[in-house]
Structure formats: C-alpha cells, structure tokens
Amino acid sequence: MSYSAIRPCPSCSKPNRIPARYLASTGRCGSCKSPLPPLDSPLDVNESDFNAIIQEATVPVLVDFWASWCGPCLAVAPEVHALAHEMAGKAVFLKVNSEENEGLARRFGIQSIPNFVVLRNGKKVAQRAGFGGRADLRRWLLAA
C-alpha cells in the first residue's frame, strides 16, 4: 500500500506525483526541474491514505480529527493550516473527517473534536483534545 500526493509545480504548474516518504522533502519538478518545496498544508485523507502515509513518513505526522458540523474545528482550521506552513519539512499534517472515517476515529478513541494525534514511525506518541493556540500546538508537536 503506497500513497502519492499530486502537487502542482510552483513554476510551471505541471502536476507532480510525490510519494509519502518525500512529502517533507524538497524535490524537483519532473517537467521544468524547478525545486518543489516540502508539503506546507494539511492533506485531507481517508483511512487507506492515512495508513500509507504514517508508515512511510520520515518526519512526525500531526493528525487533526474534525467534522464539518464542529464549530471549534472550523475555527481552528486556519491556525492548523498556518502551523503546517511554518513546519513544512519538519512535520506532515493530515486532516481526518471523523464522520467519514469512523474506523480511524474508533482506532484512536476520538470522543471529542477537534482532537490531535502525533505519530512517529507509524506509532502514536501523543494525543490531545482541544486547541490552545498555534504556539501551544507547535510546542506540543515538537515535544512529542
């Protein structure tokens, strides 16, 4: 089971397939050879993509469990996105809709959202419910 993200080149806009193990790396466009920066925004994933990414990722993975009806989840989304941009190359950020991916929500015992999980080498190293701000989430991620 493998995963590849399709990312457009910032220079020529051609799509590039980026395997999960290289999401946090700087690469080169297959067409124009310009640098492709590390992933700097959260990826919306399903259970299959989630499993492939956490097994192949070379950096910590922060997972944001959320739901479309959850006001606090929607309110923190821009902060999570901004942190993903700040941490590009140091961590990969995933968004999991807990209603559409009930198996993952059960697997991590999600009972309240937003809920954040940090995984390293495919294993959970930290989990917390709620959001205390971008700086707090950054410290928590780095400590995990």
Residue-by-residue DSSP string for 9-42: -TTT--EEEEEGGGTTS-EE-TTT--EEPPP-SP
Alpha helices in the chain (DSSP H): 47-56, 71-86, 102-107, 134-143
- Identify whether 30 is part of a domain: no
The residue annotated as part of the active site, out of 9, 29, 32, 70, is: 70
pLDDT tens digits, 60-80: 999 999 999 999 999 999 999
Task: Please report the pLDDT score of residue 125 as a whole number.
Answer: 97
- Identify whether 27 is part of a domain: no
Burial class (CB in 10 A: 0-12, 13-18, 19+), 26: exposed
In this model, does residue 89 exceed pLDDT 80?
A: yes
Residue 66 domain boundaries: 39-143
- The CATH number covering residue 97 comes to 3.40.30.10
- Identify whether 12 is part of a domain: no
Q: Is 70 a catalytic residue?
A: yes
Q: What's the number of domains the chain is made of?
A: 1
Q: Helix or strand or coil: residue 52?
A: helix
pLDDT tens digits, 20-50: 999 999 999 999 999 999 999 999 999 999 9
Q: Please, which residues bridge with residue 118 across strands?
A: 62, 126
In this model, does residue 12 exceed pLDDT 90?
A: yes
- Identify whether 20 is part of a domain: no
In this model, does residue 2 exceed pLDDT 90?
A: no
